[in-house]
Amino acid sequence: MIHKNGPLDFEVNAYTSSSVSTSINFWTQDRQTARLIFKLTKDGVPLPLAAVTGKLVLVMADGSRFIRDVTIVDRVNGHAEYVLSDQEIKHYGNVQAELNLYYTNDQSMSVHQFSFNITKSLIDQDIVPITEYYVDEFEALRDKINALYEESIQTLEDLREKFEDLEKIETKAGAQDKANEALEAAKKYTDENAETPDGAKDKAAAALEAAKKHVNPHIENQKIHVTESEKSNWNKGQLYRLTPNNGKVARVPNGTDIFALPTGPYMGANLVNPPISNDGSFYYVNVLETAYEQNEVVYKCIIATRSFDNITWIGTFHAQGFKGWDRVLSEKDLNSTWNQVTLVTGTTKHFAGNPLKFSIRQNSLHLRGSFEGIPSNDTIIARFVQKPSGTTVFGGTTVGSYGAARLTLGVDGSLKFDGLNANDNSKVSRVEINEEIPLW
C-alpha cells in the first residue's frame, strides 16, 4: 500500500523537550495514507518493545480526542507506526499528540509529546467536522459487557430448569398433606360403612396404620430426592485426581524421574532428567500426557520451571522419543543491562573514558569497552559467573600502536590476556574490545 510517511525519532529520557513541534503536514484527503512512523531509542540503542502496548493520544484543533492502539512493527529494534483513520484525518488544524507505552507488569511510560498539522484540502472546504471522542478501550469494554449479558441469560435458563426439577421433589409438608388426606378418606369410609361404633373404630385404626406405612418412610428420609439426569451426570464424572485432597501441588520424592510422571502438576528437587544435567534445584513440573501413542512412545508435553530463578523449559515426547529441552526466553532475557566488569586486582584497570562492560542477552555474553595498563601474557584479568560451553578465543584492537591483542574466555569463566602483536608493543597504552560470545 502507498503511504505518506511522517517519521519521528524519539530518545526516551527525562531531559528532552516536553513537546516537539514537527514539520509534518497531512491533508484531509490523505485517507488511509497518513502514517506516523516511530523509531524509539534509549541510551543510544534501540528500545525493545517486548510485552508492551503502545497508545497514541490525539487532541485535534476542534477539541476532538482519540486514544488509539499503535502497531508494533519491530519489537527488537523499537519500531512502531500508526495510520490515521478516516474519522481523524478530517479534523484539520494543529494536532497535539502523545505516545505512551504500557507494559504487562503494570509499568507505563510517556515516550514523547509532539504536534503536527492537518491542512484542509480544497475539495473539503465546505465540510465542517463534528467533535468526536473515541477510546479503543471503550469498544473492548462494550464487548465484555455484551459477553456478560449473554452469560447471565444462559445462567437464568439453567436456574429455571433446576427449579422445574425441584418442584417435582416431594417435601415433608407434601407427605404430611397426603397422610391427612388418607386419614380423612379412611374416616369417611368407616363412618359410611361401619355397622357398630366399635367396628368403625377398628376399621379407622387399620386405615390409619396403612396410611402411616406409606407416609412415614418419606417423612423420615432426610436426603433430598434427585432426578435421573443428575445421577447420570455424577456417574460420568472423572475420577482421576490431579492433586491431594487439600488441592495443593504435591512434592515428589528425591530421585523421581520427570519422564515417568503422569498428567498433573508436581514439585521436587534432585530430580532425574531435569533440563540442566545434575541440577539438584527445586523444579515445578507440569505434565500433559496424551492418549495417543506411536512407535511405543506416548505423546506428552512437559513444562519445567526452576524455582530460584524463574527460568522455564519445554520438552515433548514425539514419535522418535524425547525431543530435548528448549528454554523459554523471558522479558529479562530480552531487556538486559550493561554492567562494569570486575577486574582482578593488580592486573589492569578500566579506561575511564570507555570502561570495560558486559551484558547477557539471549544466552550470549556481550563485551565492550577498554582496559589500560597492559598485563603480562597469560594473565587472568577477570572472572565471569557466566561460562561458555567451550573455550572461546577472540581479539581486541590495540591503541597507541596499530595491532591486535588476543584474549581467551575459558569454560570456568576466566578471561585471560594471551598477548598482543602491534607495530610497537611498547607504545600500546590500552586494548579496545567489542565482542559477542555464545554461552551455549
Residues 6+ apart with CB under 8 A from 242: 263, 264, 265
Per-residue pLDDT at 147 exceeds 70:
no
Residue 362 CB: number of other CB atoms within 10 A? 13
30: nearest Cα among 85, 97, 99: 85
Q: Mean pLDDT over all residues of the chain?
A: 86
List the strands of the sheet with 93-103, edge to edge: 19-27, 108-119, 93-103, 52-59, 65-69, 133-135
Per-residue pLDDT at 167 exceeds 70:
no
Write the pLDDT tens digit of every residue in 233-281.
777 766 777 888 888 898 999 999 999 999 999 999 999 999 998 899 9
- How far is residue 157's CA from residue 164's CA, in Å, rounded to a whole number? 11
Min mean pLDDT across 90-94, 168-172, 304-308 is at 168-172
At 155 the pLDDT is 61
312: nearest Cα among 336, 337, 290, 281: 281
Of all residues in the chain, the percent with pLDDT exceeding 90 is: 55
- How far is residue 413's CA from residue 410's CA, in Å, rounded to a whole number? 5
- How far is residue 428's CA from residue 107's CA, in Å, rounded to a whole number? 47
- How far is residue 242's CA from residue 273's CA, in Å, rounded to a whole number? 22
- How far is residue 316's CA from residue 304's CA, in Å, rounded to a whole number? 11
